[in-house]
Structure 1
Amino acid sequence: MDTTPNNSISTSSSLGLLAGKVAFITGAGRGIGAAAARLFAKEGARVLLAARTESQLKTVAEDIRAAGGVAEYAVCDLADAASVRAAVDRTVELYGQLDIAFNNGATLASPGPMDQVEEADFDHVYAVNLRGTWLAMVAEVAAIRATSITGAIVNNSSVGSLMGNAELAPYGAMKRAVNSLTESAAVTYGPEGIRVNAIAPGTTLTEMMYEWDDASPGMIERLAAQAPMRRAAHPDEVAQAAAWLLSDRSSYVTGTVLRVDGGLRA
């Protein structure tokens, strides 16, 4: 089966990295997801933003429209299977297709040793970070198959999936499982032209990271000091990596977990 992309690099370069594509983004109300939504729209994609908080989604969508982009949103709880499927279906209803998806939404348990994590908190991290990502991927593959035939998916993992973490054991465990899902999906759907990759951000200045820093004062500074670049990433820097992996410029890249960590794991 010949699944060579129809859009040439020169065409996408002149029109925008994601020109002509429809993108679905979870966790799009803030942080990396919001940065990705703005970037993808700027690069020519029509975007559907999904997250739990409508006020945040509305703000990001309005920002995108004000800048000349195309954006709609759907309130979505990644822990609710019906909600996830409905959000993906809404993308197709509004735009007639789905080409690319960025599964970014995630949650944290309270930082601390794993024996102090409440069972309900562990279950919630599982439901959102792993089960929610799986649910989204299944719905996205079905939508891509039914409309655009070929496409690309990027899952937001974490550099924490690549090493032990004394404070975020459930988070790291679920993200490591996301890496496995990513690789399995790449092997499964690659023959039909659907690429699946992940990014593994390091310390990034998001609301979630600030919440961790509040619980463990000085955490951002300590983590940033460990990276060779001696700083934390801005959300847009991480979004740029996701955009490239979703674009036709990465047409022969699938099954990879791309570190965006300032060299932390070098």
Structure 2
Amino acid sequence: MRDYFKYKDKVCVVTGAASGMGKSTTEMLVDLGAEVYALDWNQVEVKGIFKYIHVDLSSKESIDEAFNLLPDTIDSFFGIAGVSGITTDFNKTVIIDFIANKYISEAYLTNRMKEDSGIVFITSTGGLGWEKENNQKEYMPLIKAKTWEEAITKLDELDLNRLPGPLGYSFAKLAMNYYVAHLQTTFASKHIRVNAILPGSTDTGLTGEFSAAAGGADKLMQYTGFADRLATPREMGEPAVFLNSHMASYISGALLIVDYGSGILSQAGLQQDSMGGATFDKIKLHFLKK
């Protein structure tokens, strides 16, 4: 059978490879013959990976150590790791979910990605509205930061660590969705594609935490469209593998919403938007006034 995806012997790096969407992505890449480097805080138990590398994405030093163990040339990068904010404070959530991806992209991927290769991030439908001016003014200081240290300083200056950790998740996903657009200016001229998957409610190891953040498991079902069930991790890993494959060679800058139609129903006014279209600054003020 013809290899349409063309992952065989390609160097693929996956963060968050130990569980959920990252594990499903890793398993598929191994099946497709890729040379997979699996990065995670936890041990990665996927047979056939080339190497497991421990990494703490809240630490610049740990990221540097991990990338010192990776090849000088990378064919595909999958930025899948993330936290919900339930067990981390606002700032640490933003560091793991956004600043780490920004640092990896600017410090390493700009020099290591091959031409005609791909980068895909798992962001979230929780980051929809990223293009709104009132949202952009919140996260733009971090986008403009030139170094890890400057990004951390800018985050501290925002003085948002009083907010709940899950709001850090939303903040980070807004920033990540914008960042996919921002990275086109860096990578597109090099013929390196950058895309993102925006999952709807998915049954992963973080489901309990997301249920708590949403106010109950039934709340998550509001974001499942007509599927009437949570997605599986593999149903998010599959489109990620597709977007970084040869099959998607002319797709870049896509924010692929994978929510079985939930978002478009709200956009069309056919389903109530439970967030009411509130921008991050309004949500922030609501919590800070408490």
Normalization by structure 1: what TM-score?
0.79
Deviates most, 246-255 or 133-142:
133-142
Cα offset, 1:126, TM superposition: 1.3
Q: How does 1:1-266 map to 2 (within 5 A)?
A: 11-13=2-4, 17-54=6-43, 57=44, 59-60=45-46, 64-65=47-48, 70-92=49-71, 97-110=73-86, 121-138=89-106, 139-144=108-113, 148-162=114-128, 168-213=166-211, 218-219=216-217, 221-226=218-223, 227-266=225-264
Structure 1 alignment gaps of length 5 or more? 1-9, 112-119
In 2, Cα distance between equivalents of 1:181 and 1:123: 18
Say if 1:12 and 1:141 are closer, same or farther in 2 by CA, change over 3 A: farther
In 2, Cα distance between equivalents of 1:97 and 1:125: 29
Cα offset, 1:136, TM superposition: 1.8
In 1, Cα distance between equivalents of 2:196 and 2:214: 27
Deviations 1:145-178 (A, max 9, x none): xxx34411001100111159x9932211111100
Q: Which amino acid aligns with 2:119?
A: I
Structure 2 alignment gaps of length 5 or more? 131-163, 265-290
Work out whether residues 11 and 34 of structure 2, in 8 Å CA contact, stay in contact via their aligned partners in 1.
yes
State the aligned residue count: 229
Work out whether residues 186 and 197 of structure 1, in 8 Å CA contact, stay in contact via their aligned partners in 2.
no
Work out whether residues 17 and 244 of structure 1, in 8 Å CA contact, stay in contact via their aligned partners in 2.
no
In 2, Cα distance between equivalents of 1:209 and 1:253: 30
In 2, Cα distance between equivalents of 1:222 and 1:257: 24
- Percent identical pairs in the alignment equals 25
Partner SS state of residue 29, structure 2: helix
Deviations 1:199-228 (A, max 9, x none): 100101001112333566742x43225422
Normalization by structure 2: what TM-score?
0.72
In 1, Cα distance between equivalents of 2:260 and 2:165: 21
Work out whether residues 79 and 120 of structure 2, in 8 Å CA contact, stay in contact via their aligned partners in 1.
yes
Partner SS state of residue 198, structure 1: strand
Q: Which amino acid aligns with 2:111?
A: A
Say if 1:240 and 1:136 are closer, same or farther in 2 by CA, change over 3 A: same
In 2, Cα distance between equivalents of 1:25 and 1:48: 6
CA RMSD of aligned residues (A): 2.3
Say if 1:155 and 1:255 are closer, same or farther in 2 by CA, change over 3 A: same
